Amino acid sequence: MAQYLILIYENEESYANATPEVFERVMQAHSRFTEQVPEHGAKLLGGEALQPTPTATTIRGDVVTDGPFVETKEALGGYYVIEAPDLDTAIAVGKLCPAEFGGVEVRPVMVFE
């Protein structure tokens, strides 16, 4: 089976202004997601939430600066790594991934021989 990265891009401002109820709803949605992955013939290998973009450090060559690489409406907020038999299965799993304030991207992990 191949590995796929499910990247979660969302509007960080929506979380900055979110109520505890919103956080609870999002956490429950992610718990449901992790339970649904095996039901689609895939395996969850890992995943993490990321700190907000102001905590990022960008490196270009030898220059190190505070802050994200680019400014966008949606930022990478977390990811899951799954193992799936094919891209269609990975996409089906990606469609289940919660991203209330944005969307997700499914990308195959490159394999080097």
Give the pLDDT score at 59.
83
Per-residue burial over 41-78, b if 16 or more Cβ lie within 10 Å, else e, is: ebebeebeeeeebeeeeeeeeeeeeeebeeeeeebbbb
Q: State the CATH number of the domain containing residue 58.
A: 3.30.70.1060
User: Residue 15's domain spans which residues?
Assistant: 2-108
CA distances from 69 to 57, 58, 72, 95, 104 (A): 8, 6, 10, 27, 19
Judge whether 113 lies within some domain. Answer: no
pLDDT over 80 (residue 68): no
Chain-wide mean pLDDT for the chain? 92
Whether the predicted pLDDT of 103 surpasses 80: yes
Q: Is the pTM of this model over 0.75?
A: yes
9-52: pLDDT as tens digits: 999 889 888 999 999 999 999 999 999 999 999 999 999 999 98
Say what the pLDDT of residue 29 is: 97
Structurally, the chain folds into a number of domains equal to: 1
> Is residue 64 domain-resident?
yes
The Cβ of residue 8 has, within 10 Å, a number of other Cβ atoms equal to 24
Q: Is residue 89 part of a domain?
A: yes
Band (64; pLDDT cuts 50, 70, 90): confident
Q: What is the tally of helices (H) and strands (E) in the chain?
A: 3, 6
Residue bearing the bigger pLDDT, 31 or 64: 31
**Would you say residue 54 lies in a domain?**
yes
